């Protein structure tokens, strides 16, 4: 957590770091501090403060990764021998195949509250079961007894995903994570990470819109956006993701489109959504195109939503987000990275990696908006 402090206020890790620190503090306050202050009289309390708890917690979590849907995140013996490589794992840890499909499904269902949100990763490639431990004193039954005493749900296999030539490094993967997530969870970044993102706060959308609109105007449009029941679009989010290729989420495009709607279409949508009834497909088709666009699917509406006003808003958001960086130009950051030692200056190196990645994505967002905005008229 301390590793990213110098850029925590700027990067997309800010919200996650603040939320995690609040949760960690609650854990310490409820579990650690009462135990340390009441159960033992001879403890050195310097070792049980909240900062020490943060350090211990982050150290352990930096060695954890997602195993599968049933186990969620955890520490696995031998797994830390392998370095991470995004989208190019050589080995994978998964449930033992001795579990039948029905047994595995039963185990997952009985612990549904602990499941990770992401999809489970199944067995792939040639299986290679972890070797049985044997005692040097010819006690060959030790491995068998350990296996017998363990429930199948506690056994994992290390699977070879693809052939690896002799002499090459063998990689594991911690998941398809952005550099912000890698830095936050594990303390490193990865060059040319295809899963990098930039988060755009809803508050930043407000700030960029205030140049042209009043607070009352923006508040009413955001309220309408939150009432919409649009397929594949969340209206409960407080931030929006810009992908590594500079493409904004559909949620952001819909919001910016509503912010640019002429009054007559805004009032029509406001009236429809205020009734609290879901619209049928036929109802949507009968609406003016300016209104029906916000109810379409991603494939149908993305291009049409990118009118001149929305493209201008995307450019404004990118420029405002870029203004948060106080380190000079993007080229200045690239030059600093070239002279930074990843071993002796790890904090600075990985912070610069994250910063450069975010600024590159913002530049791609500008190009995306500029290309989409060519020959696109303003809506109002």
Per-residue pLDDT of the chain (380 residues; tens, 9 = 90+): 444 444 444 455 666 777 788 888 998 999 888 887 776 667 777 888 889 988 888 888 877 777 777 777 777 777 777 888 877 788 877 766 554 444 444 433 434 444 334 333 333 333 333 333 334 444 445 445 545 555 556 677 788 888 888 888 888 877 788 888 888 888 889 888 999 999 998 999 999 999 889 999 999 999 999 888 665 456 566 789 999 999 999 889 999 999 999 999 999 988 888 876 777 778 787 888 888 888 875 556 788 889 999 999 999 999 999 988 877 889 999 999 999 999 999 989 999 999 999 999 999 999 999 998 774 544 43
Question: What topology does CATH give the domain 198-374?
Answer: set domain protein methyltransferase, domain 2 (3.90.1420)
Contact 23, 61 (CB under 8 A): no
Give the residue among 254, 287, 293 at the shortest CA–CA distance from 272. Answer: 287
* Backbone φ, ψ for residue 342 (5° rounding): -70, -15
Q: Looking at the DSSP assignment, which residues form a beta bridge with residue 160?
A: 91, 126
Spell out the domain ranges in the chain: 1-62, 66-96+154-175, 198-374
| Inter-residue long-range contacts of 115-119, CB under 8 Å, 24+ positions, other chains counted | 115/69, 115/70, 115/72, 116/66, 116/69, 116/72, 116/73, 118/66, 118/175, 119/69
- Output the CA torsion 325→328→331→335 (10° steps): -110
For residues 292-315, b (16+ Cβ closer than 10 Å) or e, as one string? bbbbbeeeebbeebbbbbbbbbbb
Tokens of 210: 């205030």
> What predicted TM-score, i.e. pTM, was given to this entire model?
0.71
Give the residue among 265, 355, 247, 357 at the shortest CA–CA distance from 311. Answer: 247
What are the distances in angstroms from CA 273 to CA 229, 266, 292? 9, 11, 13
pLDDT for position 288:
87
pLDDT for position 284:
80
Helices in the chain by DSSP H: which ranges?
14-27, 33-38, 50-61, 101-110, 141-149, 179-186, 202-209, 215-227, 250-260, 263-274, 281-285, 289-292, 298-305, 308-322, 330-338, 346-373
Q: What is the distance, to the nearest Å, from the Cα of residue 11 to the centroid of all Cα atoms in its chain? A: 13
Contact 189, 133 (CB under 8 A): no
């Amino acid at each position: 957590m301390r590793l990213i402090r110098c850029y925590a206020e700027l990067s997309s890790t800010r919200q996650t770091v603040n939320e995690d620190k609040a949760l960690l503090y609650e854990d310490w306050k409820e579990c650690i501090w009462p135990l340390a202050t009441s159960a033992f009289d001879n403890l050195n309390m310097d070792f049980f403060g909240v900062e020490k708890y943060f350090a211990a917690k982050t150290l352990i979590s930096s060695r954890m990764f997602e195993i599968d849907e049933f186990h969620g995140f955890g520490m696995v013996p031998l797994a830390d021998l392998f370095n991470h490589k995004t989208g190019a794992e050589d080995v994978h840890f998964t449930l033992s195949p001795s579990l039948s499909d029905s047994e595995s499904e039963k185990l997952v269902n009985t612990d549904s509250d602990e499941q990770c949100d992401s999809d489970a990763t199944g067995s792939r490639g040639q299986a290679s079961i972890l070797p049985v431990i044997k005692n040097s004193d010819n006690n060959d039954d030790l491995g068998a007894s350990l296996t017998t005493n363990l429930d199948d749900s506690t056994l994992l296999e290390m699977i070879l995903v693809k052939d690896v030539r002799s002499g090459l490094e063998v990689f594991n993967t911690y998941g398809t994570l952005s550099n912000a997530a890698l830095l936050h969870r594990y303390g490193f970044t990865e060059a040319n990470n295809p899963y990098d993102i930039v988060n755009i706060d809803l508050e930043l959308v407000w700030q960029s819109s205030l140049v042209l609109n009043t607070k009352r105007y923006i508040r009413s449009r955001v309220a309408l956006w939150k009432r919409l029941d649009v397929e594949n679009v969340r209206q409960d989010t407080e931030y929006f993701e810009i992908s590594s290729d500079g493409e904004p989420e559909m949620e952001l495009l819909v919001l910016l489109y509503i912010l640019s709607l002429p009054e007559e279409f805004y009032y029509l949508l406001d009236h429809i959504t205020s009734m609290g009834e879901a619209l049928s497909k036929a109802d949507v088709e009968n609406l003016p195109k300016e209104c029906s666009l916000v109810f379409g699917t991603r494939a149908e509406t993305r291009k049409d939503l990118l009118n001149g006003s929305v493209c201008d808003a995307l450019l404004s958001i990118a420029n405002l987000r870029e203004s948060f960086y106080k380190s000079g130009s993007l080229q200045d950051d690239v030059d600093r990275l070239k002279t930074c030692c990843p071993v002796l200056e790890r904090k600075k190196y990985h912070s610069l990696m994250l910063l450069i990645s975010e600024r590159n994505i913002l530049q791609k967002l500008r190009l995306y908006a500029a290309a989409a905005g060519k020959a696109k008229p303003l809506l109002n």
